[in-house]
Structures are given as structure tokens and as C-alpha cells.
Chain A
């Protein structure tokens, strides 16, 4: 049960949120100039990092805002939280 700091509501239990998968994905477009490989890559091949990984979370039972989380997929430690459209803050080792 992760403890996630929603940028608006503060610290909450994981069961208030839902996970949206890898963050910073760039949706290829326009469709007419996207190859099969590019499209398949976007849909089916996430980076799947072991270690600090950037993902999106949705505060479904709270303010209903999406935000970014850097989470270590091996230790589950959440390193930082930042808004959509922002870059991740400097990460402390």
C-alpha cells in the first residue's frame, strides 16, 4: 500500500489512485505518416525500467487530477512527484 503525495491533496494511500503506466510517451501522429513499427512501439512496448521509472497516476478518489511519479520499480520507493507537462525535479541519489 504505497503512500502517494498528490500534488494537490497531500499524502494518501495507494487505494485512492489508479496507475496509468509509463509517462512521457509521445503519441505518434499524424496517422498517415506513422509506420507500423512506430505505432506498435507506442502501443505495446513500454520501456519497463527496473529501477527509477516515470509513470502517471490518477487521483481517482480525490481531486481527479493526473500527475507524474518517479518510482523505483525494484524497491517501490517513490522518489518524487511532479505535474503533467513538467520535467522531473533533480533526483537525489
Chain B
């Protein structure tokens, strides 16, 4: 076996990855991009009795450089598309996106000339939350799903699953 060392998951690498994932999943600072009524639900999810801060999603800042999770809550009109794209590009890696509400997911009821039909065609979305608007529980559930996704991530060695797969199939990576 020529590539045996790479097949097993190295102890140091996996522990470091676990540590990084632990840190990232416990402080996903949100960037609130509320453009419509879903923004109100987002505020509610941040305020008392729902309190997103329990999961470390605190320090809401309006500068994309300092945030991890872009929470896009509301309708995106065609004029707003370049702005959203630019905000996403300005965020520092690693970054995640939650699309809150029917408008952000698919355009919702606004099947008109002015509304963009779902932000999935502009920026990569990690979690979609359906509803018009979704309840704060829905937003919290999306955040929990995102935390699960972050914890399953491989921040140090993104290519590893691909290489392991190739090795298992008997090919050289």
C-alpha cells in the first residue's frame, strides 16, 4: 500500500480540525441582511425569549468583514442583486449563508418583473428556511442545522474526502 499514511485520519490533523470546528460552530457571528418582513422575525429570533445568542450568534455587526453567517431575510429585487453579491464577496472566508423566507428561497408570491426568483442563483446558500415569514423557531432551527454542517466540515484538508474516495477506488489521487 503506497498511500497508507494518507488513508487513515491522522490524529493531530483530526484533533486540530475538531478544535477549529468547535470554535467556529460556537461563534457564528451573524450579518443581518433584512430586506423585508422576515427581518422582523430575525430581530425576534435575536431578542429575548428566543435568544440566538445562546449559540454564540451574537455581536451583530453591519460590516461584512467581521461576520461569518449572512442571514438573508427578505425579498431580493433585481436592483438589490449586485449589492447582495458584493456584500457576499466582501465577507471573509469561511462564510455561510442562510436564506430566510419564501422570497429569499424562491421569490415567493412576488412572481413579477422586479423580483429576483431566489438568491440561490446569486450566492451559494447553505440552509433554506421556508415560510412567509418563518417563525423565529424556524430561524433557530436553520442555525442549528448550519452548526451541524460546520461541525462536519474539514477546514484543514478540504480535498481529503476526494483523495480517500479515489484511493478506495484504487486510483492514484
The answer to whether A binds B is: no
List chain B positions with a Cβ less than 8 A from chain A: none
